[in-house]
Amino acid sequence: MMGKYNHTVTQDEVGLSINQIIKANFKFSSRFKTKMKYQQLVDLNDIQTPGFKKPEEGDVISIRLPQETSDFPVEDIPVIVLYEDDDLMFINKQPGIIVHPTKGHPHHTIANGIMKYMQDHDQSYKIRFANRIDMDTSGIVIVAKNANAQNDISHQMRSNTVHKQYIAIVNGIIDEDEFTVHAPIGRPREESIKRTVLEEGGKDAITDVRVLERFTNNTLVEVTLHTGRTHQIRVHLKHVGHPITGDRLYGGDAPGLMERQALHAAQMTVRHPMTKEKLTVEASLPEDMKNCLAILRS
């Protein structure tokens, strides 16, 4: 077994069943609840106990987590860990590497690197990515180490309660110091990998933009997402006439400055699935964006 979640019964919970107390204190998925029942994963004071029992104040309810593993090939790909505990790991993904294996990219992914990281640190869990960023975007990626953590963070993502802040370099000079882009995003055609602002049929999307520094022909901005649409920042910045520097897909070509879009997931704040406390993690800029800024400043 990998571990377990514990909850001490309070005076207010006396008279409730174990199942009722678990439901009130944990956001487990329906799938995991079924697994808890049929694999008898719930203990009361370290003794396996059915969920209909009513515990006393001070009793400890434990939910044991079954051992799960991933079977991706192990590859020596650097994993830059920003924060780690028994439930979550935040990493600073380098640009040019895809997060999860796909048919087009079955190897050389962050998942393969995490397999090596687990091997080196004597860990074992099923790799569950709670968020993903584009191959050529750098920055924070969250790895959930168990089903409950993934379900909780995914719920926060869907509720738009996760604070997501990016740093980007864009083409052109932005005159306004701060502004918000509120424009729906969708595919212009079903087969297209590109997204665009659509007046009809698009999904609601909101992006805040704040200027950090202006250069001769570029602007450094801080971007805060209020929704999580595919390519949202790239589409919204193109929509206002300032595509991201180096973003060839959306018209931000920048010879001599960037070989990929200058976009970095710099900060993320979530509510920890277990402690319920706010957790803020920051990721430093990668070298290519630092070099680009140095050129622009010179």
Per-domain residue ranges of the chain: 5-63, 80-297
| Helix 147-158 / helix 30-38 crossing angle, nearest 10 deg | 160
Q: Please tell me whether residue 134 adopts helix, strand or coil conformation.
A: coil
Give the DSSP letter string of 31-80.
HHHHHHHHTT-EEETTEE--TT--PPTT-EEEEEEPP----PPP------
| pTM for the structure as a whole | 0.84
pLDDT tens, per residue, the chain with 298 residues = 356 788 999 999 999 999 999 988 887 778 788 888 888 899 999 999 999 999 999 999 999 887 788 989 999 999 999 999 999 999 999 999 999 988 888 899 999 999 999 999 999 899 999 998 999 999 999 999 988 889 899 999 989 899 999 999 999 999 999 999 999 999 988 888 899 999 888 999 999 999 999 999 999 999 999 998 999 999 999 999 999 999 999 999 888 899 999 999 999 999 998 888 999 999 999 999 999 999 999 9
- Catalytically active residues are 134
The pLDDT score that the predictor gives to residue 1 is 38
One of 3.40.50.620, 3.30.2350.10, 3.20.20.70, 3.40.50.300 is the CATH number of 80-297, namely: 3.30.2350.10
The pLDDT score that the predictor gives to residue 200 is 86
Angstrom distance (rounded) from CA 41 to CA 62? 8
Contact in structure between 126 and 136 (CB atoms under 8 Å)? no
The pLDDT score that the predictor gives to residue 188 is 86
Contact in structure between 36 and 73 (CB atoms under 8 Å)? no
HSE-up of 181 (CA within 13 Å, CB side)? 24
Within 122-239, strands assigned E span 128-129, 138-144, 163-171, 178-182, 185-186, 196-197, 206-214, 218-225
CATH 3.40.50 fits 5-63, yes or no: no
The pLDDT score that the predictor gives to residue 220 is 98
